[in-house]
Amino acid sequence: MSQRIGNVGLLNLVNATEESIKEIERIENVGLAIYGKENAHLLTKLNIGNIGASLEIPTGSRLFNGVLHLDQNYLSGIMEPVFLLVNGIVIIDKNVQADQVQAGQLTMLVNGKVYCPSHLTGIAGRMLSKGNGAVETYEGEPPRLENGKFTLTNSFLQSIDNSLYLVVNGLLSFAQDLNTDLFNEKISKLEVNGKISLFENQESSLYKKAASLTSCVVEVIPDGYEVLTKPLRLNGRSIRRFQEKNWFTNKPVMIENDVTRDMLTKAIKKIHSTSVIICHEEVEDLVYERLSLMETEVLPYENGFIVIEGEEVWSNDQFLALDQPVSIIVKGKLTLDQDVSEEVLRSKIATLDVLGDVVVREKKLKGTLHNIIRLNTGTVEEEKGKEEAEATLQNIGELSL
């Protein structure tokens, strides 16, 4: 059975053969492909959409994934020449001396970055073989690495004894009450690979400390805005707790049909949204007046709405149970069962907004759906056969063939 694979971080072909790759029909994206001299030809035989980098490595090379700390103990344990391929990050300890590096007989090929104390800059460069490893120097303590979601708070800054070089791989958020003077004092250098979310008054402090912003997206929250961290559903009762609020959100805001124009006017002053706002058509104009971004999607409804966020399978009977036509917003995955008829779709769905995936089990329904789709940033497709579905893999960190 042939396999189709979505994304592969590291494709290891060092031990690959004609036999081991014959079942691979296609690989969409590969971050790094490595191979030996004797099987380099196999790379061209694979149907690969995009390759970030491809490298030939010597026979007997060692492979390391993740963060490699090179300290005195590690280097003193090397008794013979070593060629090391590092897929990730190398941190050379501040106590390593130049003669230890030279005596270690270590050669590295780094797909990532090398953090090196300033007194070893020249030697570190000579340790690197060809590849795309970049050398970043540091003074004092080695950089501190944080992966995933990390929030920079006053408590964290107060816990730092010496000035810190901070590297975040993922999402870095600045706490709203962050003391910028303390930030400037305790953070010597900042590097982010991913996304930064901070408030407008903190922006200048970021630019002073950031080594580069080319590898991240910066999200600036305007001053005076309250950040909504999860989807918000408002009805005539819950909206009363808000008074002239300014909201900043990348999550959906859903407004029930019992929210009056007067309630909305008193509760919401401005909305800065990169997601969608669902509201009754009677208050649609008021919602538009409160938007700070022209590209924000407003999805009005007449009778009611249903939001599909997870994975749901709807049958013909479920649609027939609806009292009146509704607007359906698909953020997750909606599968239409085999018994769903075209007539029921036309009579029970007022509008369909596809932000996720809609799967039909009857091909003829695709045409009907396209007639009622209002917004489509997702996919509408026919369900794949069981055998085809089982042969598809989406995301793999490392694949050895």
Query: Which one-letter amino acid corresponds to residue 70?
Result: L
User: Which of 274, 301, 328 is the endpoint of a domain?
Assistant: 301
Q: Are residues 230 and 296 in the same domain?
A: yes
Q: Is residue 400 part of a domain?
A: no
CA distance 197 to 220: 6
Q: Which residues of the chain have pLDDT under 50?
A: 387-390
pLDDT at 353: 94
pLDDT at 77: 78
Q: Is residue 292 part of a domain?
A: yes
Q: Is residue 97 part of a domain?
A: yes
Q: Are residues 349 and 311 in the same domain?
A: yes
Q: Are residues 287 and 319 in the same domain?
A: no
Q: Are residues 328 and 262 in the same domain?
A: no
DSSP 16-60: --HHHHTTEEEEEEEEEEEE-GGGTHHHHHS-EEEEEEEEE--TT
CA distance 220 to 204: 11
**For residue 266, which of 296, 248, 286, 252 has the smallest C-alpha distance?**
286
Q: Is residue 239 part of a domain?
A: yes
Q: Are residues 209 and 149 in the same domain?
A: yes
pLDDT at 30: 83
User: Which of 253, 277, 301 is the endpoint of a domain?
Assistant: 301
CA distance 63 to 87: 8
CA distance 275 to 384: 30
Q: Are residues 192 and 241 in the same domain?
A: no
Q: Are residues 284 and 337 in the same domain?
A: no
Question: Model confidence over 20-59: pLDDT tens digits?
Answer: 777 787 788 888 788 877 777 777 777 787 887 777 777 7
Q: Is residue 398 part of a domain?
A: no
169 contact partners, CB below 8 Å, separation of at least 6: 145, 146, 147, 148, 192, 193, 194
User: Which of 94, 118, 138 is the endpoint of a domain?
Assistant: 138
- Count: domains in the chain: 5
**For residue 171, which of 206, 205, 216 has the smallest C-alpha distance?**
216
347 contact partners, CB below 8 Å, separation of at least 6: 325
pLDDT at 76: 78
Q: Are residues 132 and 199 in the same domain?
A: no
Q: Is residue 187 part of a domain?
A: yes
Q: Is residue 394 part of a domain?
A: no
Q: Are residues 49 and 81 in the same domain?
A: no
pTM equals 0.73
pLDDT at 157: 93
Q: Are residues 52 and 103 in the same domain?
A: no
**Which backbone phi and psi does 186 adopt, to 5 degrees?**
-95, -20
What range defines the domain where residue 258 resides? 226-301
According to DSSP, the residues that pair with 220 across neighbouring strands are 198
Question: Model confidence over 248-272: pLDDT tens digits?
Answer: 999 999 999 999 999 999 999 999 9
Q: Are residues 123 and 166 in the same domain?
A: no
Could you tell me the sign of the dihedral formed by the alpha carbons of 222, 227, 230, 235, in that order?
negative
Question: Model confidence over 234-254: pLDDT tens digits?
Answer: 999 999 999 999 999 999 999
Q: Is residue 386 part of a domain?
A: no
Q: Are residues 312 and 370 in the same domain?
A: yes
